[in-house]
Amino acid sequence: MSSLSSNHSSDDVHEIRNSGTDEPVESASTRFLTTDSARCADGGSDGLINLMLDIEADYSSQVNCKDGHERTPLHIAAEHGMLEIVRKIINFDSRTLHAKDKNKRQPLHVACREGKTETARLFLDAGADIEAEQNQEITALDDAAYHGHTDVVNLLLDTGANVDVADCDGLTPLHNASSEGHIEVVRSILKHPKTPKTTINAQDKSGWAALHMAIWEDYRNTVSFLLEEGADLTLKTSDGWTPLLTATPRYLDMVRIILRYRDKRDIQLEADYEEGYTALLEASRKSQLATTRILIEAGANRKAQDKYGRTGLHLASKTGYVDMLKLFFPLLNGEMIEHQCDGSNTALHLACGARDDSDNSSDSSCVFVIREWEHQEGQHGSVIQFLLDNGADKHAKNDAGDTPLHDAAASGISSRLEPLLKVVTPKDMLAQNSMGWTALRSAYLGEDREIAMTALLKSEHLQTANFGAHDVWLDAVKWAASNPANFPIAKLLVSKRPNSKRPQSLPSTDDNLIESAANQLIPDLLLILIGKMDKNMDKNLDTLNALQSALKTTLQAIQDGLEGTTAMDTDRNRLKVLWVLMATLRGFGIQGLVDRTLRSVKNTRDKLQELASSSLLKDSLNTKAFGPRHPRIPQNRYRVAGETHHPELRDAEARETRLSYLAELEDILRDPPRTQFQRHFQDLKPPEIGSPAIGKLLQRFEATITLFLEDKKCLELLPGIVQ
């Protein structure tokens, strides 16, 4: 191939043999040669270079044409190191030396970026601007250093390029070479006779020196060379990171390299950055066990505390690394186990999941941290067990009044709860924080309430489901019953109902839960459970039996209480439960039992009404005959034959309340969908099995019962209630 003569440099030959029909070369030919270039390109690189070498002066007007990236033919020739093409284009028009593409790169930038030493030399000899800046204020020397082209770097330095030139981020050529581990470029820069001694410690706008960058990218040979050349180990970034701190959370070998210099130079062993972390604390919080050991061996202060007052023992507890904890514990002789850090948290609080101010800072997420300790289930549990075995106070309270049990419950992690539940007492279970919450309330509002509440409620030490000062037991029951997966929690809550008059057994099945809801007068729960049933009752024989059993128990309780009175709240709940059961079981063989109860209710109401009438007559006669009763004369002096022994029923207001209750009871037993308050509103339907909206009926019912017969105006309000 005659056109490849000796005057072609190695740049030419290398690129011709490897470019083939690449688009950039073809673009050059189509821009300023002829359309024949495409045809020549089909013949391979030899044909293309022959065509380029035969450029005639007629094409000189096209040397400044640009492609879609605003590159000229000279940019493309520089990229591929085509010296003859470069010479001819420059001869046609030397102004092309300063042409810029869309990134403001001149041909010199391109040649240096691609490592085309002779092409770069030709540009420099022709007068190219060695300090010209492209985007981000990057020079040709920056490009050559970043891409590791040692010969180009030497050429530029020998030609007088500014070795300390900085781009828009303050990065120098030494930064660029160090960050990519180009040790030969680093050597060339630092060994060049024109390089100032200060170059090695130049810092960018974030305070990072070349040493920081080489450490961060784990280029050990580059780090060793920089240290041999005198890189400063006391330099800090704007965040306070020394080279040692930069190495600590990531690379054990880097730490070892730096520690070799501790007897000769200040390695800043106790220096800390803005959060107060020394290298030892940084290693412990990042769970770097081996690094922690060698720092302790190097003399690091084992009692150092961060800005939150936490030692390595606290940080190991927080991260859940039991081996790290065991490393620190004997070194501190156990004296820091009850030390309270920020928020008055002990190591046990932190192991149980207590949050502190650091959770809103770099402790929870650090821009420099890549290899975080991966939490595994059981790790924190092992830490908690170790602390308890070594005397940690399980009763300690932090500023929020939380005990470790509160924090473990709020975390919702079973491995944190298990060791605590082995050592707590019933009194510990009822301990309240400053908001009046027990551990059960913390679990209910915590990260994973299903796990935490189950663990607490199953504990023999929790005798009642006590949520603390603000009882949310019913809310918790309704939440648990709304999802069949949480029925076990609902059963536990019902079996440990607070303020229950008698101990309740744990419902063994979902159907038993229905009976418990009815027997314990929890209509809210009953409505939710019915709403979760299969609409085809024939497929729910066990459930049907449970509902019928619940109704029998409810009716029997009503009959037992007909001769006395109960608290008003109980009456209303019994009415709701009865209405729900009656409306659900219509047509399922309950009429006989209902009729018997209805007769008992009617008889009781008639007797009470008769008694009320006779009492009014008696009071009137006694007043006329004897005058007002003397306050010192016992009331039973005036009792007449057949009068009730219940003093509450001798009070007119109590009698009226009781009569109203019995009237509502009679209405429900007679026809639940046609109870007295529904006579004017035919669209209020009874509970619908399997309906997700069934719970809304309860609120309508309660509101109606409360308003009914209190005032005639209540009838005007009912449409809004039942809509």
Distance CA 628, CA 620 (A): 10
Q: In degrees, to the nearest 5, what angle opens at C-alpha 30 toward C-alphas 28 and 35?
A: 150
Of 130, 124, 51, nearest in space to 84 by CA:
51
pLDDT for residue 599: 86
Residue with more model confidence, 432 or 53: 432
Alpha carbon distances (Å) from 141 to 96, 155, 197, 310, 479: 20, 10, 18, 47, 67
Give the end-to-end CA distance of the chain in Å, rounded to a whole number: 96
pLDDT for residue 426: 96
Which range is least confidently modeled, 95-99, 269-273, 562-566?
562-566
Torsion angle, alpha carbons of 118, 119, 122, 123, to 10: -140
Domain extent listing, the chain? 535-627+643-723
Alpha carbon distances (Å) from 110 to 196, 458, 723: 27, 72, 77
Which range is least confidently modeled, 106-120, 228-242, 594-608, 643-657?
643-657
Residue with more model confidence, 40 or 157: 157
Residue 450 has pLDDT above 70, yes or no: yes
The 10s digit of each residue's pLDDT in 377-410 is 458 999 999 999 999 999 999 999 999 999 999 9
Q: What average pLDDT does range 71-91 have in this prediction?
A: 91
pLDDT for residue 560: 77
Helical ranges in 160-288 per DSSP H: 173-179, 183-191, 210-216, 220-228, 243-247, 252-259, 279-285
Residue 360 has pLDDT above 70, yes or no: no
Residue with more model confidence, 540 or 562: 562
pLDDT for residue 493: 93
The 10s digit of each residue's pLDDT in 533-548 is 766 555 667 777 888 8
Residue 687 has pLDDT above 70, yes or no: no
Q: Which amino acid is at 698?
A: L
User: In terms of C-beta density within 10 A (0-12 exposed, 13-18 middle, 19 or more buried), how is residue 134 classed?
Assistant: buried
Alpha carbon distances (Å) from 294 to 280, 507, 526: 9, 58, 64
Q: What average pLDDT does range 479-507 have in this prediction?
A: 81
Residues 6+ apart with CB under 8 A from 35: none
Q: 322: helix, coil or strand?
A: helix
Residue with more model confidence, 264 or 675: 264
pLDDT for residue 618: 55
* DSSP code at position 483: S
Which range is least confidently modeled, 194-203, 451-460, 690-699?
690-699
Which range is least confidently modeled, 95-109, 592-606, 607-621, 704-718?
704-718
Give the pTM: 0.71
Kindly indicate the confidence band of residue 87, based on its pLDDT and cuts at 50, 70 and 90. very high
Q: Which amino acid is at 63?
A: V
Are the C-beta atoms of residues 299 and 306 closer than 8 Å to each other? no
The percentage of the chain sitting over the pLDDT mark of 90, rounded to a whole number, equals 49
Residues 6+ apart with CB under 8 A from 562: 600, 601, 604
Residue 57 has pLDDT above 80, yes or no: no
Tokens of 145: 């250093």
pLDDT for residue 335: 74
